Amino acid sequence: MWKKGYLSHDEAVDAMNDGSITKHVEAYYALMEENGNTASEKPTTKENVCTRNQDVDSGKYASHREASVGYIKDTTGLSDAECNEIASQATVWCGSHWEDADTAVLDKFVESDHTFDGTIYRGLHFGESTSGQYDAFMKDVQTGSVISVSQDGRNASWSSDERDAVNFSHRRTKWQDSVILKCVANRTSSPISYLNSVGEREVLSHSKAQWTVLSVEETDKGDGGRHAVITVVERGTYKTDTNGDGVTLMDEKKTTDKIPEDSEYMPMLDRWEESSGDFVIEPPKPKEKPEQ
């Protein structure tokens, strides 16, 4: 369970020792069933490194712009006009006026491009503990919560390199509260380091994407600061209306993350700035009581 991000290592050991592992296994698979399938329906890639300079220097492309458009064309198969439009909006997104980027265009890119195959991270920083921002955000974050990290309906930036998230979260600033979101099952977010000239291994999420919280680990940083690592998986369904039609990227409740019949577990079984008010958090749904 701890390898799946549902329990900490110590919690998993304790659960094995006290016999409560059966309860945790049942709860995990029930949560994953509610979450929906985390498997990508798009092609996947583990590559997230920018090679534009080398490609231009080698003569493969005449300019960085041409290289960006070529990359988008190769990975999405979209028309030349669409690829040029995405390249333009990606430049805006990766610049200082990222909030002006066209969300519908970036969403089209995420829908058409590869999914990054691997764990991705997002760093959130808050003010001092006395500001109350961290407490407001964490209040409803618990196992089973559904969260959205979209700011005003925009896309969100993640990284395939945990160090980027640590820097963005101000993790090392002991007086400041911080959070790192760790997604261990990425279903749709796309790598865009090739379009990012800063050198970050950036991964872009869809504006409609949501995540289910698996676990929360909080620690005291000293000097009043607190830090939390929130492990999540991407939700199995969401819809976009960027082209005027409701496009479902995953069939609801279609899931492959169930306990296989030959699993060893079978015998046991007879969701303020960048990091506050723009987030939507839904507490876990209460289970319905069976009819008497």
Q: How confident is the model at residue 243, as a pLDDT?
A: 44
Rounded CA gap, 278 and 68, in Å?
Answer: 31
Q: Which amino acid is at 240?
A: T
pTM of the model: 0.79
Q: What are the phi and psi torsion angles at 222 (to 5°)?
A: 90, 160
Q: How confident is the model at residue 238, as a pLDDT?
A: 57
pLDDT in tens, 4-18: 888 877 888 888 888
Q: How confident is the model at residue 249, as a pLDDT?
A: 41
pLDDT in tens, 16-46: 888 888 888 888 888 888 888 888 989 999 9
Q: How confident is the model at residue 265, as a pLDDT?
A: 31
Q: How confident is the model at residue 224, as a pLDDT?
A: 79
Residuewise pLDDT in 10s, the chain (292 residues) = 777 888 877 888 888 888 888 888 888 888 888 888 888 989 999 988 878 888 888 898 899 899 999 999 999 999 999 999 999 999 999 888 999 999 999 999 999 999 999 999 999 988 777 778 888 889 889 999 999 888 788 999 999 999 999 998 888 888 888 999 999 999 999 999 888 766 679 999 999 999 999 999 999 887 878 999 999 999 986 544 444 433 334 333 333 333 334 433 323 222 223 333 333 444 445 545 445 4
Q: How confident is the model at residue 285, as a pLDDT?
A: 53
Q: Which of 100, 96, 59, 66 is nearest to 83 (CA)?
A: 66
Q: How confident is the model at residue 85, as a pLDDT?
A: 97
Q: How confident is the model at residue 195, as a pLDDT?
A: 85
220: which residues sit within 8 A by CB, 6+ positions away? 226, 227
**175 touches 128 (CB < 8 A):** yes
**111 touches 89 (CB < 8 A):** no
Q: How confident is the model at residue 198, as a pLDDT?
A: 67
**122 touches 201 (CB < 8 A):** no
